[in-house]
Amino acid sequence: MGVLSVNMGTRKHYPAELKAKIVLEIFKEEKSIAQIASEYGIHPSVLNRWRNTAVEKLPSLFTDETKNLENMKSEYEKKIQDLYAEVGRLTTELTWLKKKSGL
């Protein structure tokens, strides 16, 4: 089923795809959480936690990511321009110092 576990006493880690599949089954409400838990061998409280996490994070899926990306892009471009300006200033200073020192 895609369950990752090293040995007894360690936590089981489930792939995100499996969690999403199970949470979608829970949302369909065709089976009870107890039935789904039995089917996958996962404790019902874990499934309830996954469902609650999905419900909490659902609104963030619909936020305007493009605004966030545009802000990051403009900040990145400004940083590049600042760095090019700094390189130009330092190159000019180096040239001036080389002329003054006779190198």
Can you tell me the mean pLDDT for 8-17? 85
Q: How many domains, the chain? A: 2
Looking at residue 29, what DSSP letter applies? T
Asked if 25 and 40 count as a contact pair (C-beta separation under 8 A), the reply is no
Q: Are residues 28 and 75 in the same domain?
A: no
**CB contact at 8 A, 53 and 28:** no
The whole domain housing 88 covers 64-103
Tell me: do 59 and 82 sit in the same domain: no
pLDDT surpasses 90 at 46: yes
Which of the 8 DSSP states describes residue 4?
Answer: B
Q: Are residue 11 and residue 48 in the same domain, yes or no?
A: yes
Token reading at 36: 């789904």
Looking at the structure, tell me whether residues 88 and 42 fall in a common domain: no
Any idea which residue has 């039995």 for tokens?
A: 38
Do 59 and 71 share a domain, yes or no? no
Query: Are 58 and 72 found together in one domain?
Result: no
Bigger pLDDT: 3 or 22?
A: 22
Check whether residue 57 and residue 28 sit in a common domain.
yes
Same domain, 69 and 56: no
Question: With bands split at pLDDT 50, 70 and 90, how would you rate the model's confidence at 61?
Answer: confident
Provide the whole-model pTM.
Answer: 0.54
Q: What average pLDDT does the segment 52-71 reach?
A: 82
